[in-house]
Amino acid sequence: LSITIHDVARHAGVSVATVSRVLNSSGPVREETRLRIGAVAKRLGYRPNSAARTLKTRKTSTLGVLLPDLFGEFFSEVIRGIDQTAQREGYQLLLSSSHGDVGQIEAAMRAMSGRVDGLIVMSPAVDARSLATNLPSALPVVLLNCRVEGDSFVSVNIDNFGGARDVVQHLIGLGHRGIAMIQGAPGNHDSDERLRGYREALQAAGIAVETRLIIPGDFTEAAGYLAARQILDMQPRPSAVFAANDAMAIGALSAMRDAGISVPDEVAVVGFDDIPIARYLSPPLTSVHTAIDGLGARAVEILCTLLRKEGDPQPIHEILPTQLAIRRSCGAGGPAGNGAVDGSLEVKGP
């Protein structure tokens, strides 16, 4: 029913081999023939059957993307970066997200193997063994924001540690000593690294790390709200709060407002991620700015060099830098307005 290379060949009065040659610019074809075939192909609206092509060449021109069940802003930005870069590189995207446990993600990996040329995996649950047993060993894989054991895989990460350390350092610089932290989801790599950065900053300043100041959370607004209520009840009460992401910071701000606590006058609050609305909050939220779309984009770029076999065979571990976005919620910096309309990024270097 569909139109094939044979139809084109017949209409152009040549063999399928010649048609194939002009389509792929492989092998020599007389200029006149090339033009004629091109015209016929266009006139007939010919589209090469990608299944047949894949069967023959073993190339799918498709990249697989495996994501966990993640949160609004972050998700869309990662995808945006991946999508735009893949498009530019001539790849389609086979997406599978919303994975809770390891079993689901392994099933997705198996379903994708054979249908993609390479894979981008973002999952706190996945490990080297899991990858090895569920994927063809020849399939190039780039790990995104994952805990990486050893050097068996290529990975791209955000500088969670450095970003957290910097923002806590900033709080310390403002004179804060009692600094609470609201943790991200347990077992999550980002979460652990941000906690590590928090610890590092305190220790570097000679401040004791108090366990009671580290409150569990799960990256949701509701968790931030609950954690903040807990923090407000503490004796002595901390003068600053570092939430492991902006969503929890927003929950915390909400809780403080409900409790009649002024931010930043009574308690300073900072977040992580610098989501777009951070600057529109009340007060505008100090956060750690990360180029989330850049994370996705970089992963695709690396994957593509792997596919072209350009890259040196040794594994790459890339870490994307972060920047402090200082606004009013920390009590230092930021004009009275929120700079919403001047178009400036309002992002400052560390």
CB 159 within 8 A of CB 322: yes
The entry of a copy of itself, DNA, none near residue 226 (CB within 5 to 8 angstroms by kind) is a copy of itself
From residue 303 to residue 342, what is the string marking binding to a copy of itself with x (rule CB under 8 A)?
---------------------------------xxx-xx-
Residue 28 makes contact with DNA by CB under 7 A: yes
Distance between CA atoms of 119 and 140, rounded to whole angstroms? 6
Before 350, cis peptide (omega within 30)? no
Residue 255 makes contact with a copy of itself by CB under 8 A: yes
The entry of a copy of itself, DNA, none near residue 33 (CB within 5 to 8 angstroms by kind) is DNA
Total residues contacting DNA by CB under 7 A comes to 32
3-class SS of residue 312: coil
CB 296 within 8 A of CB 144: yes
The tokens of 64 are what? 């697989």
Residue 103 makes contact with a copy of itself by CB under 8 A: no
Whole-number Cα distances in Å, 131 to 66, 119, 126, 296, 306: 12, 11, 7, 20, 17
Cβ-Cβ contacts under 8 Å for 162 (sequence gap 6 or more): 197, 319, 321, 322
Q: Which residues of 113-136 are buried (b: 16+ CB within 10 A; e: fewer)?
A: eeebbbbbbbbbbbeeebbeebbe
Site for a copy of itself in 274-293 (CB under 8 A): 275-277, 279-282
**Residue in 41, 164, 247, 295 binding a copy of itself, rule: CB under 8 A:** 247
Terminal C-alpha separation, the chain: 62
Instruction: Kindly state the smallest distance separating residue 111's Cβ from a copy of itself, in Å.
Output: 7
Total residues contacting a copy of itself by CB under 8 A comes to 65
Looking at the Cβ atoms of 5 and 116, the one nearer to DNA is 5
Residue 208 makes contact with a copy of itself by CB under 8 A: no
Looking at the Cβ atoms of 201 and 267, the one nearer to a copy of itself is 267
* Placement of tokens 């968790």 in the chain: 223
The tokens of 332 are what? 């230092």
Vertex 119 angle, CA 114 and 123, to 5°:
125
Q: Which stretch binds DNA (CB under 7 A): 20-28, 71-79, 231-239, 270-278?
A: 20-28
Binding site for a copy of itself (CB under 8 A): 1-2, 47, 49-52, 54-55, 60, 62, 65, 69-73, 75-77, 79-80, 83-84, 87, 92-98, 110-115, 136, 138, 221-222, 225-226, 229, 247, 250-251, 253-255, 257-258, 275-277, 279-282, 336-338, 340-341
Binding site for DNA (CB under 7 A): 2, 4-6, 13-18, 20-21, 23-24, 26-34, 46-49, 52-53, 55-57
